[in-house]
């Protein structure tokens, strides 16, 4: 198995050259004094060292050992506690946290690169701090100042951690069905009772306290999702002076035995009249929870991206070293019994599929993170509103497309290894198992597709989509030159196709509501490949500019152009078959009666 090395050159290319992040940050007063190019580069360098030295070496051993449950107590695999202490001491938990409470205040464009490193190095470990990051975000946005002052500093410091307790055995996507109850007390607190399942990092030994954010319903609350409130329920109670008190009535009933991410504790959590505190407004729990969902869903999408990168590094190293057969054009290593398998077209096809989609995904994750940063930090009301709309549109796309492609890329990496990819030593079978969950949790990819097409597109008549299309058209018009024609011409055609299929569904759905669900998954993929084409056009333009200006890194930029050409010629054409599926309509799905299945 290859030793993980963060793709720092490509990360810097995307962050600094394509999106000119430091110029963007300098234009926003709330970021200008927080981060600049030098600070960002130092963070990336240190992040690369941390992930390669501390996290990646624990990936396989953590998978083999797994998390342990013993009478309610959960212990993480050997080495995890020490690595987490190192991680916390470095300030990484609070990387994007509010500086008012001890966070570093870094933008999402930067933290997205670090998250990719984390997921590439060790999926299971990464889930512990990212759950804390999400919980902190909800508290920072909706909790009282007193609660923020009490909890956020220790959470940012990694002394305490967080979890999100949403799912129940009968209530997954449809959270309106939850049974967990919260009873108001005379002192303004609440007593929370219920059982939650599939709770990542619900119990573990990495921190001295765990702060659970729990969705529950008050007595006589409205039915359905309008009656859900959000509560902070600590594992251990916190005294008035900030010290830890006695244990709360919270327990871990068991942990799940899973296909992958085995070192991540996925818990059944029992709340038995546990003391809790309301976060945000009564019956507005989903609003509070969804404050962080765009960030969390992008993070899970990046899990697919990180696994793709690790799959590429593994498979490329193997393809260069493994010798089998001869190149079709004649022996490239005639002094040896066989040539490297990298000489074979099908191996190159799989490697280029992984490379191209990973590089496009890295650019797209940065692009979506840019919208989140603009929505959060911009002082321009119009810019802020536009970015908020784009992030709402593109977050479900990123979550689902990154992870669908991520599984495909991990399987292709495994295929390159042949039989060696099926055994543990290569590391590829673990990647396949680990990345699979990313298509399921934080909202299954089918739900993300429905969100993209139904709520974010059809429901507003394509308003959000039109804003994205307008931006792409602007780029095409500004770069309709001889040197860029090979990219902007097919990009324009792909966008035109996406526009046609978008408004086909909008028009059809007016009288046939099943058309949205029937088209949603394939539509998301048409959108995904088109968005990737836009990313490669942006990268190609940047590469051409650098080559024209003269550069000592000619090979890097020429390689970027070659990868862009591969994407346009071999991957972008997938949109045509997907489009045909979309416009076939919903009728083929409903020709069979239920009893004919």
- Give the residue numbers marked as catalytic: 442
For residue 178, what is the DSSP state? -
- CB-side neighbour CA atoms (13 Å) of 419: 0
Phi-psi category of 326—alpha, beta or left, where left has phi over 0 and alpha has psi -120 to 50? beta
Helix (H) or strand (E) run with residue 274 in it:
strand 266-279
Distance of CA 259 to the CA centre of its chain: 20
**To 10 degrees, the CA torsion angle through 212, 58, 401, 436?**
-80
Q: Answer for the pair 196, 168: CB distance below 8 angstroms, yes or no.
A: yes
Return d(Cα 400, Cα 409) in angstroms, integer.
Answer: 14
Return d(Cα 175, Cα 139) in angstroms, integer.
Answer: 20
Q: Around Cβ 233, how many Cβ atoms within 10 Å? A: 26
The β-bridge relationship of strands 160-165 and 209-216 is: parallel
- Could you give the C-alpha distances from 354 to 302, 306, 310, 400, 430, in angstroms and in order? 15, 11, 10, 17, 17
Return d(Cα 248, Cα 236) in angstroms, integer.
Answer: 5
* Token digits of residue 241: 């002076």
Return d(Cα 595, Cα 467) in angstroms, integer.
Answer: 44
Q: What are phi and psi of 458, to 5 degrees?
A: -65, -45
* Token digits of residue 322: 């493994």
SS3 493: helix
Return d(Cα 316, Cα 351) in angstroms, integer.
Answer: 7
Closest CA to 206 of 50, 83, 97, 95: 83
Q: Who contacts 199 (Cβ-Cβ below 8 Å, separation ≥6)? A: 163, 164, 165, 167, 212, 266, 267, 268, 269
Number of H helices and E strands in the chain, helices first, is: 21, 11
Closest CA to 435 of 522, 305, 312, 316: 305
Return d(Cα 492, Cα 487) in angstroms, integer.
Answer: 9
Q: Answer for the pair 43, 110: CB distance below 8 angstroms, yes or no.
A: yes
Burial grade of 469 (CB within 10 A; 0-12, 13-18, 19 or more):
middle
The β-bridge relationship of strands 266-279 and 229-234 is: antiparallel
């Amino acid at each position: 198995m290859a030793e993980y090395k963060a793709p720092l050159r490509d990360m810097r290319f995307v962050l600094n050259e394509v999106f000119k992040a430091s110029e963007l940050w300098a234009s926003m007063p709330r970021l200008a004094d927080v981060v600049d190019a030098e600070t960002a580069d130092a963070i990336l360098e240190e992040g690369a060292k941390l992930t390669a030295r501390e996290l990646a070496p624990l990936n396989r051993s953590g998978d083999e050992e797994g998390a342990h449950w013993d009478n309610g107590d959960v212990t993480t695999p050997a080495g995890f506690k020490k690595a987490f202490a190192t991680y916390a001491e470095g300030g990484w938990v609070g990387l994007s946290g509010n500086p008012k409470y001890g966070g570093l205040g870094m933008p999402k464009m930067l933290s997205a690169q670090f998250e990719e490193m984390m997921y590439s190095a060790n999926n299971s470990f990464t889930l512990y701090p990212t759950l804390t990051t999400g919980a902190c975000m909800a508290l920072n946005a909706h909790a009282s100042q007193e609660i923020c002052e009490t909890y956020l500093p220790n959470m940012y410091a990694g002394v305490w951690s967080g979890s999100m307790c949403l799912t129940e055995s009968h209530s997954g996507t449809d959270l309106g069905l939850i049974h967990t109850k919260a009873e108001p007390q005379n002192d303004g607190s609440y007593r929370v009772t219920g059982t939650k399942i599939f709770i990542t990092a619900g119990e573990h030994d990495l921190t001295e306290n765990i702060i659970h954010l729990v969705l529950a319903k008050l007595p006589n609350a409205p039915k359905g999702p309008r009656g859900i409130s959000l509560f902070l329920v600590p594992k251990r109670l916190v005294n008035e002076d900030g010290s830890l008190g006695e244990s709360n009535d919270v327990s871990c009933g068991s942990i799940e035995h899973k296909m992958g991410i085995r070192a991540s504790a996925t818990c059944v959590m029992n709340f038995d009249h546990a003391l809790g505190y309301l976060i945000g407004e009564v019956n507005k729990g989903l609003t509070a929870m969804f404050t962080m969902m765009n960030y969390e869903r992008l993070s899970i999408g990046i899990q697919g991206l990180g696994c793709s990168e690790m799959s590429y590094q593994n498979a490329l190293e193997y393809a260069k070293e493994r010798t089998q057969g001869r190149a079709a054009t004649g022996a490239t290593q005639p002094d040896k019994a066989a040539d490297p398998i990298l000489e074979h077209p099908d191996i190159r096809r799989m490697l280029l599929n992984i490379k191209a989609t990973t590089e496009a995904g890295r650019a797209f994750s940065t692009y979506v993170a840019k919208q989140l940063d603009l929505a959060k930090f911009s002082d321009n009301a119009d810019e802020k509103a536009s970015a908020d709309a784009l992030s709402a549109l593109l977050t479900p796309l990123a979550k689902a497309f990154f992870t669908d492609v991520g599984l495909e890329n991990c399987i292709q990496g495994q295929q390159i290894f042949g039989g060696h990819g099926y055994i543990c030593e290569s590391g590829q079978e673990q990647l396949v198992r680990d990345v699979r969950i990313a298509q399921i949790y934080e909202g299954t990819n089918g739900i993300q597709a429905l969100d993209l097409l139904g709520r974010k597109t059809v429901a507003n008549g394509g308003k959000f989509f039109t804003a994205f299309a307008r931006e792409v058209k602007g780029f095409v018009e500004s770069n309709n030159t001889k040197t860029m024609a090979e990219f902007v011409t097919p990009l324009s055609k792909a966008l035109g196709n996406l526009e046609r299929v978008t408004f086909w569904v909008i028009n059809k759905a007016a009288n046939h509501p099943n058309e949205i669900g029937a088209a949603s998954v394939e539509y998301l993929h048409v959108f995904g490949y088109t968005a990737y084409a836009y990313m490669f056009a942006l990268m190609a333009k940047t590469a051409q500019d650098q080559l024209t200006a003269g550069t000592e890194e000619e090979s890097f930029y020429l390689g970027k152009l070659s990868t862009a050409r591969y994407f346009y010629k071999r991957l972008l054409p997938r949109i045509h078959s997907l489009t045909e599926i979309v416009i076939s309509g919903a009728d083929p799905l409903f020709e069979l009666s239920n009893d004919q299945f």
